[in-house]
Amino acid sequence: MGVLDTFALNGRRALVTGGNRGLGLAFATALAEAGADVAIAARDGERTAGVVKQAAEQGLRLHPITADITDDADVERMTGEAADALGGLDILVNNAGTCFHNNSWHATDEEWAQVFDLNVRALWKCSIEAARHMADTGGGSIVNIGSMSGLIVNRPQWQHAYNASKAAVHHLTKSLAAEWADAGIRVNAVAPGYVKTEMAPVDRPDLRRHWIEDTPQQRYALPEEIAPTVVFLASEAASFITGSVVVADGGYTVY
């Protein structure tokens, strides 16, 4: 097997949460391009159907699932549906996440709860459900989407709950990697910097001074630039990598 073959995902079955836009869609597309059979899950079924149709026009098959992953019953149904549709599950990309900007004096309990419920608790539930399927077939790879916000504190906007939630994602990644190594399941995280999506207002002039000028590469990324790292971690090319957090941030965290 040549080195490039180790990156191929032919015959692998992958589920991407939050796969109907932004980073999640780029991850799903890249996994499919690398040969995997891919299911995407999100709440907005109409949007997901549109994305699946567009992908089909480009020759890529994505399987749509409508689910709110903060609902435990939905998580169980989603992973079951993905495993049934694809014939099993080898790869889970825990991508769905949310953020709010507010200083800690004014943030509400609801804002805090929403962030932790989706970014941490739902990610944990999805991991458990997917790992059950993976353990049945000898193992798999889970890629959690953390953030450089789990390593540094962003500015000028304050987002303390999000930052803490992503630090939790990174450490949960290490904890599950340790627990599940003997089941053949690798668990890693990617920590992106600023990426142009609906979530991140990377073009706002008032944020430019810190978001762009503080980045050594002096720019934000496009989702397609983060996707190859997810493909790598999902693949056999990363066979000896587990419990790692791979930073892809244009150099932002060097300072």
Judged by the rule CB under 6 A, the positions of this chain that interact with ligand NDP are: 17-18, 20-24, 42-44, 47, 67-70, 95-99, 118, 145, 147, 192, 194-195, 197-200
Work out how close the CB of 153 gets to ligand NDP at its nearest, in angstroms, rounded to a whole number. Answer: 14
Pairing of strands 37-42, 62-66: parallel
Of 180 and 194, nearer to ligand NDP (C-beta) is 194
Nearest by Cα to 35 from 167, 231, 183: 231
Of 5 and 206, nearer to ligand NDP (C-beta) is 206
Work out how close the CB of 79 gets to ligand NDP at its nearest, in angstroms, rounded to a whole number. Answer: 13
Give the CA-trace dihedral at 247, 218, 163, 41, to 10 degrees: -70
Concatenating the DSSP letter of every residue in 159-180 gives: BHHHHHHHHHHHHHHHHHHHHH
Of 76 and 236, nearer to ligand NDP (C-beta) is 76
Work out how close the CB of 150 gets to ligand NDP at its nearest, in angstroms, rounded to a whole number. Answer: 9
- Residue 92: phi and psi, rounded to 5, are -125, 125
Find out whether 147 and 195 touch, Cβ atoms under 8 Å. no
Concatenating the DSSP letter of every residue in 102-138 gives: B-TTT--HHHHHHHHIIIIIIHHHHHHHHHHHHHHTT
Per the annotation, the verdict on 162 as an active-site residue is: yes
Work out how close the CB of 135 gets to ligand NDP at its nearest, in angstroms, rounded to a whole number. Answer: 24
Of 30 and 195, nearer to ligand NDP (C-beta) is 195
Catalytic residues: 162
